[in-house]
Structures are given as C-alpha cells and as structure tokens.
Structure 1
C-alpha cells in the first residue's frame, strides 16, 4: 500500500519537475534562434548576453490596452511631427482617446508650444505605434529595423478603423511570438549600443533610432520589470 502511494506521489512530482526544466530550454532556444539570425546578417553577438524571461514569467497585455497604446502613440507622434496643437486636440476627440495617455504624453499633448526636443522625441513614437499594430495582427510583419516604419500606413489604418474598428479587427499575437521579437530586438540593440560606444556606425545597416524605439515598445508589451510606459528601460 505504501509503495503504491509513493508511486502515485512520484508520478505527480515528475511532471512538475519536467515543466520546470522546460523554462530555461524555452528561453535558450529563443536566444539561439535570435543569435543565428543576427549572425546570418553579419550583426555582432555576445554569448554572455542573457536570455529574456520565459513565457510564464512574462506579462500578457490585454487587447484593449495595446489598442489604446497604439492610438496614443500615433497621436503624440502626429503632434510631434506637425507641432499642430489644434490638430492634436482634434485627434484626441476623434478617437475618444483622452484616457489613453501616460503622464508624460498628457503633458506633451496639453502643451501648446512644446520644445523642439520634445517634438523630436515624440515623433519617434510612430515606431512604437507600428509595433503595437504588428502585435495586434494589423501589420503582417515586423520588418528588419534598418529603416523607419510606414507612417502613411499607420495613419490610414487608424483613420479607416477608428478606435472601435481597431478593437474589432485586433487579434493579439501569441505571447511566444511577442517574446521572440523582444529577444531579437534586445540583441539588435546590444549591437547598436556596442557600436556607438566604440564610435562606430550601427552594424549591418541598422537604424539605431528604430532599434531603440522597437526595444522600448516590445519591453512594454512583455511587461519587462513591470515598468509603466514612461519608465521603460532598454537594458543591454
């Protein structure tokens, strides 16, 4: 009788141990795929750059949060690009987006005459909007970060769908796919930062601004360190 109980307990323990052992395998496999792709492109890599969190340790954003983030990023980018305060306020009303902004974004949108540096910084948020549309299944592919995103596509998509239409159309990609993209951009960013520290141009034609903005957006998507959008870090 005791032997049977022991066997039953052992059968319960073994699957748990197997599940635990899968976590590093998942993360290592993801890293290996990223490294192989980068090496095929001639992008430098380093072995000791760690893995990112496995799926079960990551944060799964809900579709509504990602939709709102996409719209907010597009609106602040439009104001950054144009400097048109009136247009920015009109877009907020058009998309019913007043509650979508972070504190930093809200301060920028409320400022009728933001600094040139603030405008430049927020114009770059088109890249984050592009990442969100990809995560929502609207953009079919997250292209290599060697050129700026298709801004007219973002504008036309949001204009045609609106907030409600985007919610209906959106289908958030599987978490594993988001983590794959986050791991890859993490390693792209290391290569870009490493080149900058050595006084060199980014390798293999990478656009360092695009790489940074993608890294920022993807870290938010996977809940890196549970940071809010305004506080996201892009450690390399």
Structure 2
C-alpha cells in the first residue's frame, strides 16, 4: 500500500502549507507548487519521495460531485454492526469538501503512517485507506470493511460553510424546513432531518425581477442554439440567428461565461449542448418566479418546451416581455428552493443505492430546478454555472 487519503470539511486551506511543513520539518525537503507538495527524504540511503495533492470543492468540483456520492455508496453498502455509527459516517462524508491525496514512492511503513496520521490530526479530517478502513483524526479505526467497529469514539465535523447538523439558524428556517419535510412525508419520499436550513429571507440576496427576466431570455436563446447543436443542424446558420436574437432582446451581456464560450466555439461539444438543453428546467423556475406559469409541478415530467419558447417569442422586445411578468413573493420562492433542496437529497440517496429516484422523480429535472431557484435566492452568492449541488 502506497496511498493514503485524508478527507476534511474545511472553510479554507490557507493554513495547510504550514501544517505540512510542520509535519515534515525533520528529515525531509518540501517543495510547493500551488496545491501540490513534493516531499523528499534527506537520508543518505533508502531515499524516497512523497507527493501530496490538495483539492477542494472549489478547485475540483467535478471530483467531489463524482467521488463523494461514490464514497457514500461504498459505505452505505457496508453492513455496519452499529447503525448509529453508520449514520455518523454518512453524515461526515456528506459534508466533505477538501481532499489530500498522499502518494508514497515506497510502501507505507509504520514510520510513514505515523507522519500521515500526524498530518491527519493537524488537518482534522478522516483517513481513508485503499482497503476501505476509515480512520478518525487521531488515527483510530472508525470502521473496518466488514462493518465491524473500530476503537474510535467518532463524531462528525463540518465547517461552517458546509454545516450539516441539527442546529437551528432561525425559527423561520426551521418552519420552512418542517413544511418541506411534511411535503416529502406525504408523498412517501425519504428525507433526513439533519440537513441544514436555507437562510432566512433577511439573509438572502434575492435577484430583482429585471435580473431574473434577463437571465430567462438569455438562457432560453442559448438553449435553442444548444438544441440545434445536439441535433447536428447547420451550426453556422444557427449561431448567427441566435446571436441576432440576443441582440434583438438586448441580453448579450446576460450570458454566463460558459454560455458565451459555448456559443462562440467553432466546434461546440455535443455533450455540452445536451447539458445546456436540460436547463429548460432551470428556465422553467425563472418564468415561474416571474408569474408566467401558475405552478411548478412535481419533477417527474419535463416542462412544456413549446410553451416555454412561446412565452418569449410572442414578445417583440425585452421590454414587452418584461411587462408581462409579475414577481412572486420572496417567501414562496424560498419555500420552493427549500423543497427542491430536499428532493435532490432523496434523488442522490436513491442513486447511490442503485435505486430509481422515489415517486418517479427525474434527478436531472430536480438538479436544474435547484440551479434556477438557488440562483434566484442568491444562495452563497454563487454564479449560475457554479451552483453547488451538495446534499
């Protein structure tokens, strides 16, 4: 075995370099290249190298969106002898946002393991061995691959940015959470009570009616182009047409960087086009927030794309479109965002168990609705293309 991985829930990694240097201060030379640490032993004989690569949810979002659900699935399949411990482990995994991948040039011996567990203690995370053994921050075994418990007195830890636990941030948030749980319970959809609240209204930076309207029009236009790309139609003609539409409605500046890059790419990627086309569902939440559709139906059927197009195409200008809109209440929008947040957890939970999403939900619909709603409420001040999908 020459790999050891530390996972943690942290607000930042500003202190990591100092911690690594402190652990390897004796007998090693350490060179740093951004978030990579190259560590070389100073011994005259039996020299060896260690590499530590640090990744966060911000620097490597694809890694976390792919591997954290996989890690949850792995430990969910283990037959824990202690179900309470399993709940603690699953809670911890769900809030991990930082990873330290350690690779040793030689087999990890007792001396190296002592160094790695010292770093684990300094960082305050959990240690993962390739055989599935999970360690607490003191290096004690939490659980073995066969489900038997180790000696660790384990308690999960979450950074304030990734709070996941029963603490109440506001009475308003708790009431909203309770309403969402009642909605799920009524439909037989699984949920967990320790998922956090969304912020109260006073802490939300909800987008203005005009911001939502411009985002809706710009998004719809680039989605139409994406559909043409996905269907292998005449890209040059399509691109010119939809650039003209953006100019007609005056929303060229309201594209995201990813949308702009896709629109102007000489050879746009088909998978990117398919992903963009799914954002019809995010667009649907925008026009719902603008009062242009009555309700957001349960996410088991795709939206009415023809109607989605007509809502804008029936208008000759952005101003005419804007005049048809009426902003919904902030309370109603935040309630819907909270509901979609918890529905998303149910989808992810089913997926990692290898099961169909409950109540016939389509996870792609839920994800895109969450994107739209979380953008509207200004969740964590994240940009459209960077809405976190942690559950």
TM range (shorter): 0.7 to 0.9
Cα displacement (A) at 1:128: 1.3
Instruction: List per-residue Cα deviations over 1:170-227 (Å, max 9, x = no partner).
Output: 1211111111000000000000011111111111100110000001111101111011
Conserved? CA contact 1:185–1:214, under 8 Å: yes
* Partner residue in 1 for 2:258: 104
Q: Does 1:219 pair with 2:365?
A: no
* Partner residue in 2 for 1:147: 301
Q: Does 1:53 pair with 2:199?
A: yes
Which of residues 163, 186, 189 is equivalent to 2:318?
A: 163
- TM-score norm. by structure 1 comes to 0.87
Q: Which has the larger radius of gyration?
A: 2
Which of residues 197, 211, 217 is equivalent to 1:71?
A: 217
**Alignment: residue pair count:** 215
Query: What is the Cα-based RMSD across aligned positions, in Å?
Result: 1.5
Q: Does 1:34 pair with 2:180?
A: yes
Q: How does 1:127-142 map to 2 (within 5 A)?
A: 127-142=281-296
Cα displacement (A) at 1:73: 1.3
Conserved? CA contact 1:76–1:125, under 8 Å: no
Q: Does 1:90 pair with 2:244?
A: yes
- TM-score norm. by structure 2 comes to 0.53
- Regions of 4+ moved over 3 Å: none
How far apart, CA to CA, are the structure 1 residues paired with 2:221 and 2:308?
11
How far apart, CA to CA, are the structure 1 residues paired with 2:280 and 2:240?
19
Instruction: List per-residue Cα deviations over 1:135-180 (Å, max 9, x = no partner).
Output: 0111111111111111111111101124112211212111111110
Q: Does 1:119 pair with 2:265?
A: no
Long gaps (5+) in structure 1:
1-21
The structure in which a higher percent of residues are helix is 1
Long gaps (5+) in structure 2:
1-167, 230-237
